[in-house]
């Protein structure tokens, strides 16, 4: 798989901010949705490992594995490994996963970057032990009326659509039929209000990466992107008073059943 927002140092810093921003809501989701007494859990698309350590701390499995196919991200993640947390280079769109089967798989903001989510979810289900659980957290919507934010989001959605992906993958995830080996336990949307300064910081970091995307370079004037980046920086610094941005987070829980 290829991450639309890159795996540069800037992308890693953006993931650190994203992890800090969404850690409270994701932790609540994990604790409310997961089994206890887990033997082996995996964080799918772990990046530099922030969500892996969140998973390990929230659920305390005997062992937690972070899976990603970016060696630059994994170099950062492996520096934080312990006897209970490890990291492995693996493309999460291909099976079998190393060290499986797993008691729990967790995915946050990954399916938005992947084509054919139905097939990917089916593959993930096959990596679980019978009775294991799959937790998925994706964007249902991002609620804002501020023109700077809406302009940014329109560009990002267009870029992802051109790649065959979707920013707002939550409704698609909710409508995906249950694969043969999985049974849906729940699907709901939770809201997460994010301060405008923090949203602008994440968006500005993303823009710094994907402004060099071929589609963006073909369709947008660099001066317009410069103006957008400046406007985001003004919001980030607090120089522009903007209301908070509401993320709607689709949370789907599926259990592995007998094939």
For residue 173, pLDDT beyond 50: yes
Predicted local distance difference test score (pLDDT) of residue 14: 85
**Residue 101: inside a domain, yes or no?**
yes
pLDDT, one tens digit per residue, over 52-101 is 999 999 999 999 999 999 999 999 999 999 999 999 999 999 999 999 89
pTM of the model: 0.93
Least confident of 2-6, 159-163, 212-216: 2-6
pLDDT, one tens digit per residue, over 111-138 is 998 989 999 999 999 999 999 999 999 9
Give CA–CA dist 185/167, Å, rounded.
24
**Residue 213: inside a domain, yes or no?**
no
**Residue 149: inside a domain, yes or no?**
no
Q: Which are the contacts of 113, defined by CB distance < 8 A and separation ≥ 6?
A: 1, 2, 3, 4, 45, 160, 165
Predicted local distance difference test score (pLDDT) of residue 2: 46
**Residue 184: inside a domain, yes or no?**
yes
**Residue 160: inside a domain, yes or no?**
no
Predicted local distance difference test score (pLDDT) of residue 11: 79
**Residue 133: inside a domain, yes or no?**
yes
pLDDT, one tens digit per residue, over 225-253 is 999 999 999 999 988 778 899 999 999 99
One-character DSSP codes across the chain? ---TT-SSHHHHHHHHHHHHHHHHHHHHHHHHHS-SS-SEEEEET-TTSHHHHHHHHHH--SEEEEEES-HHHHHHHHTT--SSEEEEE--TTSSPPTT--EEEEEEES-GGG-S-HHHHHHHHHHTEEEEEEEEEEEEEEEE---HHHHHHHHHHHHHHHHTT--S--HHHHHHSPPPTTEEEEEEEEEEEEE-HHHHHHHHHHHHHHHTTSHHHHHHS-HHHHHHHHHHHHHHHHTSS----EEEEEEEEEEEE---
Give the domain extent around 50. Answer: 9-142+166-193+245-256
Look up the CATH number of the domain holding residue 186.
3.40.50.150
Number of domains the chain contains = 1
**Residue 46: inside a domain, yes or no?**
yes
**Residue 155: inside a domain, yes or no?**
no
Mean pLDDT of the region 202-231: 93
pLDDT band at 5 (very low <50, low <70, confident <90, very high): low
For residue 22, pLDDT beyond 50: yes
């Amino acid at each position: 798989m290829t991450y639309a927002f890159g795996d540069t140092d800037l992308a890693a810093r953006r993931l650190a901010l994203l992890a800090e921003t969404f850690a409270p809501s994701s932790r609540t989701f994990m604790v409310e949705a997961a089994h206890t007494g887990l033997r082996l859990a995996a964080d799918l698309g772990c990046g530099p490992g922030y969500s892996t350590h969140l998973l390990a701390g929230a659920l305390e499995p005997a062992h937690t594995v972070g899976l990603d196919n970016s060696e630059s991200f994994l170099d950062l993640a492996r520096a934080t490994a312990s006897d209970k947390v490890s990291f492995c280079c693996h493309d999460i769109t291909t099976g079998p996963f190393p060290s499986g089967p797993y008691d729990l798989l967790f995915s946050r903001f990954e399916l938005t970057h992947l084509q054919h989510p139905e097939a990917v979810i089916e593959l993930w289900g096959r990596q679980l032990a019978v009775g294991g659980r799959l937790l998925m957290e994706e964007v249902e919507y991002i609620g804002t009326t501020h023109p700077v934010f809406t302009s940014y989001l329109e560009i990002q959605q267009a870029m992802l659509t051109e790649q065959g992906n979707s920013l707002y993958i939550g409704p698609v995830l909710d409508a995906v039929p249950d694969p043969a080996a999985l049974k849906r336990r729940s699907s709901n949307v939770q809201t997460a209000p994010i301060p405008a300064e923090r949203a602008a910081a994440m968006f500005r970091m993303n823009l710094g990466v994907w402004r060099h995307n071929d589609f963006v370079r073909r369709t947008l004037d660099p001066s317009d992107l410069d103006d957008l980046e400046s406007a985001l920086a003004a919001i980030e610094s607090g120089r522009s008073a903007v209301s908070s941005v509401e993320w709607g987070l689709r949370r789907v829980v599926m259990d592995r059943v007998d094939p």
